[in-house]
Amino acid sequence: MITKQTIDQVFETARVEEVIGEFVQLKKAGSNFKGLSPFVDEKTPSFMVSPVKQIWKDFSTGKGGNAITFLMEHEHFSYPEAIRWLAKKYNIEIEESEQTDEQKKQINERESMFLVSKYAKDYFHDILMNTQKGRAIGLSYFKERGFREDTIEKFDLGYCKDQWDDFTKTALQKGYDLKYLKATGLTIVKEGGERDRMFDRFKGRVMFPIHSMSGRILGFGGRILTNDKKAAKYLNSPESEIYHKSKILYGIYHAKKEIAKQDNCFLVEGYTDVISFHQSGIENVVASSGTALTPDQIRLVNRLTNNITVLFDGDAAGIRASIRGIDLILEQGMNVKVVTFPEGEDPDSYAKANSDADLKAYLEKNAQDFINFKVSLLMEDAQNDPVKKAGLIRGIVTSIAKIPDGIQREVYIQECARIMDISERVLFSELAQLINKGQKEVQKTTQQNKQPQLQPLAKKKEETKVNSLLLLEKEVIRILLLYGNEEVAFVNWVHAFNKFGKPILEKEEYTNTVSNELYLNLQEDEIEFTNEVFQLVYHEIIHQLNQDEKISIERLVGNENPSISSLVTNILMDEEKYTLSDWERKEVFVTETAKILPKLVTDAILNLRRVLIETKINAIIKEAQEEEGQTPDFEEVTNYIELKKLLYEKLNRVV
């Protein structure tokens, strides 16, 4: 594991404006920078970076955080990958914490396999581009397929010589261990005789390196160039510690930014489909590499978008075989559309035969939802056969039953009824039967359907109080984050009696930090936040105050709990939207909060008490109403009402 000292050094060194500046064109806007959102297409800047606070906020999507979270959102790195990327950028040496021998062995095994795979990728690419045989055989094949050299470079395409052990011998000479060449499947070792014999798994094949989400080489796909009927046309790396075919999608590394930006992912079958689409300017595309689609692969896409468009070859038999993947996508709660190509065409061939504009137009025009797709695919066989038609309808309803969202299910049932000319009542009845049977395919949907569909409506008054409480709790957190470390002169109004014995409020002045003032008052009233995330942030702040007597915004923004870092970033960047809107130029001025800080803090405390007292009064009355024949404790209620009056008086007197 990366040591805390290294992580702290990365946080201290990394500048958010420098990191984001590598991916987004930023322009100065007062003390901040602004730019176009890297997550959606827009013409007016909604992306703000604060060098002072070392955070960023994308107001168009609501995303925000520090340099680490930007890399996790934009590059889809894991937390350790983001730390390593920043450490490399700022030349920080990464220290690893002490690990058990078993942990060290496991990490070293994986790292060694990654090193061997990277060497193989570089070796195959060099053979392709810089040797006579590589250019004559491998490169000429790729060029015949219509791939430009910049595309070949982009995807690290390569060639393995048609010799039994040329790659293996070269790798061993370079010092790579046979153990890892064998573990990655690059080398096949056959035992027997006086010594083992070694073979290159991919000999005589053009090579397609398979990248992880972060760009590391996991394995390879190799295509044979001869007409040897005994050999498989495509050969993949075997399953290993680093390569699991069912958990990776070809092209995900090159496609991830565009998938997130376009909010859609095109799913194709083969390597060349992906590469041809990229060359045609469509980069949000991945391939299942000829395997049946798996839930793990779908979840990989779901990290980037909720929308998948499946592209099918114009081969009816192949389409029927692949239709199960649509149900898997629906099960994951994703939206799915389908595009089929003309008979005899596939995404690769269609992209090559048509202009970029025509390809994009075809995809837009021919995308259809899965109901229309299933109907168009199967209706020709079923239209004159009532039994087959009933089976088709039942199949569509079975697919709809897999959708977790109830509203979406209902919309699709209505669409199915319209297309198939059948009553919605019958379809809903069929859907209910599928759910009630508890079929494995719709187990998640079944659990949701057991819950009552209509929840009793809460009283409007109670909803308002809940909302008021959440707003006041958020205001307390906001004040702590923005002004918690500041020392302020406060005014308190204490209960006293005048010379006639009448109760009055007297003014008392004192100095305190904002955080101490809020903490002492909340502690006195034993107030707990009703919102879970507010409570987490508050506890983290109190923990910092107990340790350092100071709130560290950097530690809160960089908190590994995304709920904490997200809330903190949103609150901190709220004020920056005035800069984004250029309100000052439009002569719209916002009052500086610091000038009215004492009143702001006191108001927050008193209002929070007021709402909690109102809640307590309502709880006493409600409890009495639920107990038949009981009346509320009017003395207790009266005392709370008097307390509320005093709070109102204090609120009116705070200056």
Domains of the chain, each with CATH number or no CATH = 4-89 (3.90.580.10), 99-243 (3.90.980.10), 372-449 (no CATH), 460-574+592-653 (no CATH)
Q: Two tokens at 21?
A: 């500046």
Q: 337: buried, middle or exposed (CB in 10 Å: 19+, 13-18, 0-12)?
A: buried
The confidence score (pLDDT) of residue 243 equals: 94
Higher per-residue confidence, 204 vs 530: 204
For residue 475, give the nearest of 525, 526, 522 by alpha carbon. 522
- Taking a C-beta distance cutoff of 8 angstroms, is the pair 607, 600 a contact? no
Confidence grade of residue 107 (pLDDT, cut at 50, 70, 90): low
The confidence score (pLDDT) of residue 264 equals: 94
The confidence score (pLDDT) of residue 171 equals: 96
For residue 540, give the nearest of 503, 567, 520, 517 by alpha carbon. 567
Higher per-residue confidence, 291 vs 210: 210
For residue 118, give the nearest of 83, 150, 156 by alpha carbon. 156
Q: Could you read off the pLDDT of 459-474 as tens digits, one per residue?
A: 444 444 457 778 888 8
297-306, 332-341, 602-611: least confidently modelled range: 602-611
Higher per-residue confidence, 319 vs 127: 127
Is the confidence at residue 141, as pLDDT, over 90?
yes
The confidence score (pLDDT) of residue 40 equals: 81
Q: Two tokens at 101?
A: 């021998």
Is the confidence at residue 454, as pLDDT, over 50?
no
Q: Could you read off the pLDDT of 218-229 as tens digits, one per residue?
A: 999 999 998 888
Average pLDDT over residues 628-642: 67
Residue that is written with structure tokens 């160039």 in the block: 225
Q: Two tokens at 286?
A: 């991945």
The confidence score (pLDDT) of residue 440 equals: 47
The confidence score (pLDDT) of residue 655 equals: 32
* Whole-number Å distance between alpha carbons of 515 and 399: 55
Is the confidence at residue 587, as pLDDT, over 90?
no
* Whole-number Å distance between alpha carbons of 419 and 378: 13
Q: Two tokens at 88?
A: 């490399």
Q: For residue 410, what are the CA distances in angstroms to 382, 400, 424?
A: 24, 9, 9
Using a pLDDT cut of 90, give the percent of the chain over it. 31
Residue that is written with structure tokens 């060359």 in the block: 279
Higher per-residue confidence, 84 vs 134: 134
Average pLDDT over residues 7-17: 89
Average pLDDT over residues 80-106: 78
The confidence score (pLDDT) of residue 309 equals: 96
Highest mean pLDDT among 318-327, 385-394, 434-443, 542-551: 385-394
Single-letter residue type at 119: Y
Confidence grade of residue 582 (pLDDT, cut at 50, 70, 90): low
Confidence grade of residue 395 (pLDDT, cut at 50, 70, 90): confident
48-62, 88-102, 227-241, 442-456: least confidently modelled range: 442-456
Residue that is written with structure tokens 């809020």 in the block: 518
* Whole-number Å distance between alpha carbons of 219 and 237: 5
- Phi, psi values for residue 484, rounded to 5°: -55, -35
* Whole-number Å distance between alpha carbons of 456 and 323: 40
Q: For residue 554, what are the CA distances in angstroms to 9, 142, 236, 572?
A: 12, 50, 46, 11
Q: Could you read off the pLDDT of 501-540 as tens digits, one per residue?
A: 777 767 778 888 888 888 887 776 667 788 888 888 888 8
42-51, 205-214, 517-526, 621-630: least confidently modelled range: 621-630
For residue 298, give the nearest of 333, 339, 257 by alpha carbon. 333
Q: Could you read off the pLDDT of 242-288 as tens digits, one per residue?
A: 999 998 999 999 998 898 889 899 999 999 999 999 999 999 999 98
Start-to-end CA span in the chain (Å): 53
- Taking a C-beta distance cutoff of 8 angstroms, is the pair 210, 243 a contact? yes
Is the confidence at residue 405, as pLDDT, over 50?
yes
The confidence score (pLDDT) of residue 238 equals: 95
* Whole-number Å distance between alpha carbons of 34 and 580: 7
Helical spans, DSSP H, in 423-529: 424-436, 443-449, 460-483, 514-524
Q: Could you read off the pLDDT of 473-493 as tens digits, one per residue?
A: 888 888 888 888 888 888 776
The confidence score (pLDDT) of residue 583 equals: 47
Q: What is the DSSP letter of 343?
A: E
215-229, 253-267, 397-411, 556-570: least confidently modelled range: 556-570
Confidence grade of residue 404 (pLDDT, cut at 50, 70, 90): confident
Is the confidence at residue 589, as pLDDT, over 50?
no
153-167, 335-349, 588-602: least confidently modelled range: 588-602
For residue 599, give the nearest of 459, 524, 490 by alpha carbon. 490
Average pLDDT over residues 190-217: 88
- Taking a C-beta distance cutoff of 8 angstroms, is the pair 276, 351 a contact? yes
By three-state DSSP, how is residue 588 classified? coil
Is the confidence at residue 445, as pLDDT, over 50?
no
Q: Could you read off the pLDDT of 347-381 as tens digits, one per residue?
A: 999 999 999 999 999 999 999 998 888 887 777 66
The string of DSSP codes covering 214-279 is TS-EEEEEEEE-S--TTS-SEEEPPP-SS--GGG--BTHHHHHHHHHHHT-EEEESSHHHHHHHHH
The confidence score (pLDDT) of residue 446 equals: 36
Average pLDDT over residues 89-96: 88
* Whole-number Å distance between alpha carbons of 272 and 577: 45
Is the confidence at residue 447, as pLDDT, over 50?
no
Prediction pTM value: 0.65
Q: 120: buried, middle or exposed (CB in 10 Å: 19+, 13-18, 0-12)?
A: buried
Highest mean pLDDT among 5-9, 124-128, 300-304: 124-128
For residue 484, give the nearest of 555, 405, 387 by alpha carbon. 555
Is the confidence at residue 8, as pLDDT, over 90?
no
* Whole-number Å distance between alpha carbons of 586 and 432: 58
- Taking a C-beta distance cutoff of 8 angstroms, is the pair 580, 48 a contact? yes
The confidence score (pLDDT) of residue 170 equals: 96
- What rounded mean pLDDT belongs to the chain? 82
The confidence score (pLDDT) of residue 138 equals: 96
Confidence grade of residue 652 (pLDDT, cut at 50, 70, 90): low
Confidence grade of residue 385 (pLDDT, cut at 50, 70, 90): confident
Is the confidence at residue 124, as pLDDT, over 70?
yes
* Whole-number Å distance between alpha carbons of 413 and 407: 10
Residue that is written with structure tokens 């370079």 in the block: 174
The confidence score (pLDDT) of residue 496 equals: 72
Highest mean pLDDT among 228-242, 442-456, 549-563: 228-242
Helical spans, DSSP H, in 574-654: 577-581, 597-626, 634-653
